Amino acid sequence: MNLPIPELLARYHPDHQAGAMETLLVGVSAGERCPAALAELLQADSLLEDVDIAGAPALDADVLIIGGGGAGCVAALTAARAGARVLLATKLRIGDSNTVMAEGGIQAAVGAEDSLQRHFEDTLRTGHFAADKALVAALVCEGPAAIRWLIQEGMSFDLAKGSPHMGGTLLRKTPGGATAARLLSYKDFTGLELMRTLREAVLLQPGIKVLDRHPALELLADDRGRCAGAVLHDLGRGRPILARASATLLATGGAGRLHLGGFPTSNHYGAMADGLIMAYRLGAKLREMDSFQYHPTGIAWPQHMEGTLVSEAARSAGAYLVNGQGDRFVDELQPRDVVASAVLRELAEGRGVERDGKLGIFLDTPTLERCHPGILKDSLVTLSHLAQRCGIDPAREPLLIRPTLHYQNGGVAIDEAGHTSVPGLLCAGEMTGGLHGRNRMMGNALLELVVFGRRAGAAAAAQARVGLPCNIGLSHLANWRRGLIAHSLSLEKKAPLLFPSYGNFDATNCLRGTTQ
Amino acid sequence: MQAKKSAQTVQSDPIGLHFDGHHIQASRGASLLEAWMAAGLPLTENVGCLGQGVCGACRVLVSRPGTRLATTALACTTLAEDGMQVAFIDHFPARRLHPYDLHTMTDSWQAIRQINTAFPEAQHCRHCGGCDRACPKGVEVQRMVNLACAGQATAAGALFEQCVLCNLCVAACPEHIDPAHLGQFVRRMNAALTLRPSDLIMRIHEIEEGLQPIQLDAEGANPPLVKEIVS
Ligand SMILES: Cc1cc2nc3c(=O)[nH]c(=O)nc-3n(C[C@H](O)[C@H](O)[C@H](O)COP(=O)(O)OP(=O)(O)OC[C@H]3O[C@@H](n4cnc5c(N)ncnc54)[C@H](O)[C@@H]3O)c2cc1C
Ligand code: SF4
Ligand code: SF4
Ligand code: FES
């Protein structure tokens, strides 16, 4: 039962399971490993042929931004304020994203006992020293300025108890792995507060045209391989649109809805790795694609809540994890990968609890309430709401939980300005790699999308002066298909999928009018 | 295809409901969005967080058997019930006739006037309560509108803390007040004009003065010398 941590991770962490990873055969990151289900999509064919876009209407912009979550909105605001004409295309509605779902908070080293250097070292250590130091330095150095920027956009933050609005101090919590209290928050819905602020700002900003329900299907390139925009699919009308731009910025977020390894997910409905797939096909390098974060406490039962996150707040407040035999089996406050692996071990070794066919272990809220009467009502409000929607009284009955696929640690490799290895193509947010190494600290993802959204937005606006590329099309696909054939990979598989299979939408046929 | 899918999900105790013109069957315990998907119907809009209830995308009108009035709800946090009638409410962006620019608002003495300039319709509130009835989050919308008009920006903003910007109150308002956006306006104005944390300001000053350098090669920025062997 008491395995050393490296062995626990090696035996039970989903990234380390036999057959979980596959080696990429085609593309610029050939030879690197990534989850099998993702490899299949990264090495799939495009949904498009030249004929699909012949005669498609075109829209021109200086900067095309794909993805309307946090990173996309921050980039759009920055680029537009730098004078660029911005087109913001998003799959669902602007704001429907992982960003709006974030609960815990955002990191920035503002405490007197804290420092940028500490934030820098904490981030590197938590990521097992796999992160890019220059990127992490940029992240932490701009943390305080990013918070100021958010306040200027109208986002609120919690203040320390009794602090006045003017001249008070920010409420700070300690994220797992940090050596100082550094997590800033707004109640336990920091992402909602952040996203609705950004959404209002974008909708009011002159120079940004928002296209809701316009997922990108493929990037466009000029004859020298420079990214020149994207083919968007107008879901409402069921037709393609060519969005041509001097600079293209992808901010399509994570991959949770691929349900890697069959796991439920905390992610929003559109987290399908679309941007990653499109960028890779055009030649963007990837990194740490074999590293994903599984949050230990997702809801396991009831079915309609499966995968929903139970925030770390419960464990921080002292709630125990208890298996089917009524025993604790792990220090609940260890890093997420360790706790998740320990839960999976309990399930694998038959010490789980089953309910209506769903397997999990208990988050012991009744004992917590007994030891700290009133805690559920007073400080764990979101948890209490969650329990209510599960149809249980958390003071009497524990929540059934199991790990849920939460975050993509790696992604497209970028430099400090958000440039990828493809000219004209920039990326920001969860879809990029290099900032978190092999394990992300809580609160660094929200910081990342502000800092790198701003950097990439500014760089994209600067590139826009290069002018609109000419000879634009899908010429890069010929090369890509040759590569697939050379490795005996099927041209039948198409990607991106846009929506999970249970969404009953067939991306392959969406342009040919057979669906919708 | 459709028939096969719904047959799979029907349990011993199925629920029947009408959803956007389709008669579908669902299993007990499924949310309305899950029931829709399990019936094989395409879900490419009216969805975002899929269960957390924070994105405001999955608005529906619901009427239950035996009730005359239809109510608004979020489909991802509402369970399917036998005999329900459900319809998605399409996305409607708020019309923004009076845009404002937060960055030009520097004089907080003018805040009340600015509320009235950006949202002049707010003073025409009829106290009809339509917005309150529409809100799936139980926000006191009407009260917020009235407080905002009276210049009580902090109290007004506090009422909108739980708003998920579903815009149902916007659709419900006969005076085109755009309550949700008025709510965000006062919230944003409160933060942008009055939130000035001293610890943040001090740290920004230190950074500007070069007092917070980063040492890329510090001991703590590199792996410990003795490395654990991980298989
Ligand atoms: C439940 C939950 C809790 C979290 N809590 C925290 C926390 O407390 N602190 C923290 O720092 N981080 C947290 N995270 C992580 C953090 O929220 C995300 O990593 C971050 O918000 C990602 O931002 P993004 O802009 O890169 O992507 P997203 O916000 O996910 O936005 C991606 C956007 O791209 C769109 N898109 C996708 N594909 C396409 C396409 N083909 N064409 C056009 N548009 C497309 C999507 O619809 C979406 O609008 C949490 C995540 C989740 C899911
Ligand atoms: S206040 Fe309006 S926009 Fe906000 S949740 Fe309620 S109805 Fe929706
Ligand atoms: S719906 Fe409009 S008019 Fe009616 S109470 Fe609400 S804000 Fe006032
Ligand atoms: S899908 Fe987000 S509120 Fe229902």
Measured between alpha carbons, how far is A66 from A426 in angstroms, rounded to an integer? 10
Q: Which ranges of A186-324 would DSSP assign to H, the alpha helix?
A: 190-204, 274-281, 313-316
* 3-state secondary structure at position A60: strand
Binding-face residues of B in 101-160 toward A, CB within 8 A? 101-103
Q: Quick one: pLDDT band at residue A316, thresholds 50, 70, 90?
A: confident
Measured between alpha carbons, how far is A185 from A182 in angstroms, rounded to an integer? 10
Per-residue pLDDT, B59: 97
Per-residue pLDDT, B231: 38
Chain B residues near residue A67 by CB distance under 8 angstroms:
none
Q: Quick one: pLDDT band at residue A515, thresholds 50, 70, 90?
A: very low
Binding-face residues of B in 11-70 toward A, CB within 8 A? 29-31, 34, 37-38, 40-45, 47-55, 57
Choose the residue to mutate in A98, A197, A250 for probing ligand 1, maximizing ligand atoms within 8 Å of C-beta.
A98
Bridge partners (DSSP) listed for residue A467:
none
User: Inter-chain contact B48–A304, Cβ cutoff 8 Å?
Assistant: no
Closest CA to A156 of B134, B125, B73, B184: B184
pLDDT tens sequence across A258-288: 999 999 999 999 999 999 999 999 999 999 9
Single-letter amino acid code for the residue at A199: R
Residue A427: phi and psi, rounded to 5, are -140, 150
Average pLDDT, chain A: 95
Asked whether the beta carbons of A322 and A364 are under 8 A apart, the reply is: yes
pLDDT tens sequence across A222-257: 988 999 999 999 999 999 999 999 999 999 999 999
Asked whether the beta carbons of B45 and B33 are under 8 A apart, the reply is: no
User: Inter-chain contact A154–B192, Cβ cutoff 8 Å?
Assistant: yes
Measured between alpha carbons, how far is A180 from A467 in angstroms, rounded to an integer? 46
Q: Which residues line ligand 4 (CB under 6 A)?
A: B 47-50, 53-58, 74, 76
In the predicted model, is pLDDT for residue B5 greater than 50? no
Binding-face residues of B in 152-211 toward A, CB within 8 A? 161, 163-165, 181, 184-185, 187-192, 194-200, 202-204, 207
CA distance A209 to chain B (A): 13
pLDDT cut 90: percent of chain A above it: 89
Q: Quick one: pLDDT band at residue B9, thresholds 50, 70, 90?
A: very low
Measured between alpha carbons, how far is B74 from B50 in angstroms, rounded to an integer? 10
Asked whether the beta carbons of A253 and A97 are under 8 A apart, the reply is: yes
Chain A residues near residue B231 by CB distance under 8 angstroms:
6-7, 10
Chain B residues near residue A213 by CB distance under 8 angstroms:
44-45
Measured between alpha carbons, how far is B129 from B120 in angstroms, rounded to an integer? 19
In the predicted model, is pLDDT for residue B161 greater than 70? yes
* 3-state secondary structure at position A247: strand
A504 closest CB neighbour out of B43, B79, B203: B43
**Nearest residue in B to A268, CA atom:** B49
Asked whether the beta carbons of A199 and A73 are under 8 A apart, the reply is: yes
pLDDT cut 70: percent of chain A above it: 99
User: Inter-chain contact B197–A116, Cβ cutoff 8 Å?
Assistant: no
| CA A19 remoteness from chain centre | 24
Bridge partners (DSSP) listed for residue A21:
A35
Atom 53 of ligand 1, residue of closest alpha carbon: A267
| Average pLDDT of span A364-374 | 95
User: Inter-chain contact B44–A308, Cβ cutoff 8 Å?
Assistant: no
Closest CA to B30 of B63, B85, B79: B79
Atom 3 of ligand 4, residue of closest alpha carbon: B53
* 3-state secondary structure at position B43: coil
What is each CA distance from B24 to B42, B64, B84, in whole angstroms? 13, 15, 10
pLDDT tens sequence across A70-90: 999 999 999 999 999 999 999
Average pLDDT, chain B: 90
User: Inter-chain contact B192–A152, Cβ cutoff 8 Å?
Assistant: yes
Per-residue pLDDT, B165: 95
Q: What number does the ligand 2 atom closest to the CA of B141 have? A: 1
**Nearest residue in A to B79, CA atom:** A304
**Nearest residue in A to B49, CA atom:** A268
Per-residue pLDDT, B1: 34
B203 closest CB neighbour out of A144, A167, A302: A144
Residue A59: phi and psi, rounded to 5, are -125, 135
Asked whether the beta carbons of A243 and A383 are under 8 A apart, the reply is: no
C-beta of B147 in contact with ligand 2 (< 6 A): no
**Helix (H) or strand (E) segment spanning residue A409:** none
To which residue do tokens 């306040």 refer?
A: A151
**Helix (H) or strand (E) segment spanning residue A387:** helix A381-389
Residues of A forming the active site:
295, 315
Range scoring the smallest mean pLDDT among A137-146, A316-325, B6-15, B198-207: B6-15
C-beta of A70 in contact with ligand 1 (< 6 A): yes
Measured between alpha carbons, how far is B122 from B125 in angstroms, rounded to an integer? 6
Per-residue pLDDT, A286: 98
Asked whether the beta carbons of A253 and A429 are under 8 A apart, the reply is: yes
Q: What number does the ligand 3 atom closest to the CA of B130 have? A: 1
In the predicted model, is pLDDT for residue B229 greater than 70? no
In the predicted model, is pLDDT for residue B6 greater than 90? no
In the predicted model, is pLDDT for residue B93 greater than 70? no
To which residue do tokens 């009340």 refer?
A: B112
Single-letter amino acid code for the residue at B111: A
Output the six-digit token pair for A269: 């409905």
CA distance A483 to chain B (A): 32
In the predicted model, is pLDDT for residue A508 greater than 90? no
Closest CA to A387 of A402, A397, A379: A397
Asked whether the beta carbons of A276 and A413 are under 8 A apart, the reply is: no
Measured between alpha carbons, how far is B210 from A216 in angstroms, rounded to an integer? 42
pLDDT tens sequence across B173-183: 999 999 999 99
CA distance A81 to chain B (A): 12
In the predicted model, is pLDDT for residue B207 greater than 90? yes
Torsion sign, CA atoms B172, B174, B176, B179: negative
What is each CA distance from A502 to A513, B31, B33, B36, B38, in whole angstroms? 20, 14, 11, 10, 7
What are the residues whose beta carbons fall under 8 Å from the beta carbon of A478, sequence distance 6 or more? none
Per-residue pLDDT, B131: 97
Asked whether the beta carbons of A116 and A92 are under 8 A apart, the reply is: no
**Nearest residue in B to A112, CA atom:** B199
Output the six-digit token pair for A497: 């999928």
B192 closest CB neighbour out of A147, A151, A309: A151
Per-residue pLDDT, B94: 67
pLDDT tens sequence across B43-92: 999 999 999 999 999 999 999 999 989 999 999 999 999 999 999 998 77
Measured between alpha carbons, how far is B65 from B88 in angstroms, rounded to an integer? 18
ipTM score assigned to the predicted complex = 0.94
Asked whether the beta carbons of A508 and A494 are under 8 A apart, the reply is: yes
| Average pLDDT of span A186-209 | 95
Q: Does B3 contact A at CB distance below 8 Å?
A: no
B7 or A197, greater pLDDT: A197
A380 or A281, greater pLDDT: A281
Chain B residues near residue A167 by CB distance under 8 angstroms:
196-198
Atom 17 of ligand 1, residue of closest alpha carbon: A99
SS3 percent helix, strand, coil of chain B, rounded to 5, is: 40, 10, 50
Q: Quick one: pLDDT band at residue A44, thresholds 50, 70, 90?
A: very high
> Could you say which ligand is closest to the alpha carbon of residue B121?
3
Range scoring the smallest mean pLDDT among A247-251, B94-98, B133-137, B202-206: B94-98
* 3-state secondary structure at position B170: helix
Choose the residue to mutate in B166, B176, B185, B186 for probing ligand 2, maximizing ligand atoms within 8 Å of C-beta.
B166
Residue B85: phi and psi, rounded to 5, are -115, 125
Q: Does B230 contact A at CB distance below 8 Å?
A: yes
Output the six-digit token pair for A349: 């070794």
In the predicted model, is pLDDT for residue B4 greater than 60? no
